Amino acid sequence: MIKLKDTFLKLREEYPEFIYQDFIVEEDDNEYRVNYNFQLKELVFKPVIIVSKDSITNSNIDEEYLNYLFFQYGLFDLISYYKLTCSPKIIIKPMYIDSKQSEFFKKVLYNGLGEYFYKNNIELNYDEFLDIVVESDNKYNLPSFTDNYEGNLIPIGGGKDSIVSLELLKDYDNKMFLLDRNLYPKNKAAYESIYKAGYSDSDITVFRNELDLQLLELNKKGYLNGHIPISACISMASFILAYLNNKKYIVLSNEASANEGNFTGLKVNHQYSKSYEYELDFRNYAKEYLNPNISYFSLLRGWNEYQIVQEFLKHKEYLSVFRSCNRGTKENIWCNHCSKCLYVYIMLYPYLTEEELRLVFDKDMLDDKTLEEEFLDLVVSSRLKPFECVGTRLEINYSLQEALRRKDSYPYLLQLYKDNYMISDIDKNVVENYWNKDNSIPEEYLKLFGDKNEK
């Protein structure tokens, strides 16, 4: 850990400025291609985003405004390259942003890189962390928008949460959004989920992000690496696609459980850019600086993970296609060895037969003694919660107790839980009838949740 801290201090001194130098938009009959230019002294990064025109339905595109949105995406995308050195200054050259916008991005970087700071042994308070300097007077003034937007743009990742949103919104006017990054192959689980829901390729719009692969080489050479707030990048990418497809709502599938951090008493949240705090910040940012007629919200924010699982289990046809394992992304598998796989297994275990579980996993993960440490990290509040998108410990403990109640025999980890770690005072009503009033769900969609919501 000392070595990592020394590396951080050295890199921060050696690379005092990260520069957002430029972006160039190229357009032909088939696609928009945006070339970015980020610089760290002699290091020049040139990532590219591509949006095919095949899926675009907006026939009245304001090209100057679209270019402005592409510039905005660069402010999010630079995070992948900025993290190499965590330079104390970011210089913005292509267009002007005001102090309020600068503060928004500083907060996204500081909170979104919380896990990165922790794993790299970096201690920085907010004030000393970063200065954002704007070296452009090229100010863009938003046009007057006509509110002709309708329907939903739904980001799909191939996991249970976005599948639940797909099913809840089946009777609405929907377009599915996929993020395609060149580090990974085509997201098979996402496509199969969409097809399983009855949609076709014509209902899908793809945002392709081609990372500059220098990142991988520089990480091998000792530059800093770590988790970035990818959902923040998705928020801006989805906004661009919502505009290009005249969609009124960008419908995320983030639940109330995403608000819980990885520590007690220390603000580090692997899921920060899925939290309600970020959702509110981006909604306010979009209203003032992007387009007030396109609304960004999470449909599932009122529910906890337990309730989402219960809804997902109403649609068992997805068991063979959904995926949530980060390690297994490239092969479209569940690795059966990580905290995320174990978490999903625990949440499904009480409610599925052995045969149904085998449709998803290759083994009984609760009978795997090698996963004991991962299990305790998920269950015990005094331990570090895994840096994965998992539910709260209350929900995990409740699911384990449901397993004890419903199953006739107990595999190793479940027996370990019963003998040593079981919490005896979980209120069933708190878990099963939970409703989170801190949400931005539009009034017209609250009816999807019946009488469980408190309007």
Write out the H or E segment, with its range, that includes residue 395. Answer: helix 393-406
172-181, 221-230, 288-297: which has the highest mean pLDDT? 288-297
pLDDT of residue 2: 40
pLDDT of residue 1: 37
Given a contact cutoff of 8 angstroms between Cβ atoms, the answer to whether 153 and 177 are in contact is yes
| Sequence ranges of the domains in the chain | 2-139+149-298, 324-423
Q: Is the pLDDT of residue 266 over 50?
A: no
pLDDT of residue 184: 65
Average pLDDT on 73-78 reads 98
pLDDT digits (tens, 9 = 90+) for 126-181: 998 999 999 999 999 999 888 889 999 999 999 999 999 999 999 999 999 999 88
Mean pLDDT, the chain, whole residue set: 91
Task: Report the amino acid identity of residue 63.
Answer: E
Please give the model's pTM, rounded to 2 decimal places: 0.93
Q: Is the pLDDT of residue 260 over 90?
A: no
Q: What angle do CA 85, 90, 91 make, to 5 degrees?
A: 135
For the CA atoms of 310, 357, 164, 399, the dihedral, rounded to the nearest 10 degrees, stands at: 30
Tokens 């690379």 sit on residue: 15
What does the alpha-carbon distance between residue 167 and residue 311 come to, in Å, rounded to a whole number?
A: 9
Q: What percent of the chain has pLDDT over 90?
A: 75
Looking from the CA of 258 toward its CB, the CA atoms found within 13 Å total: 25
146-150, 214-218, 390-394: which has the highest mean pLDDT? 214-218
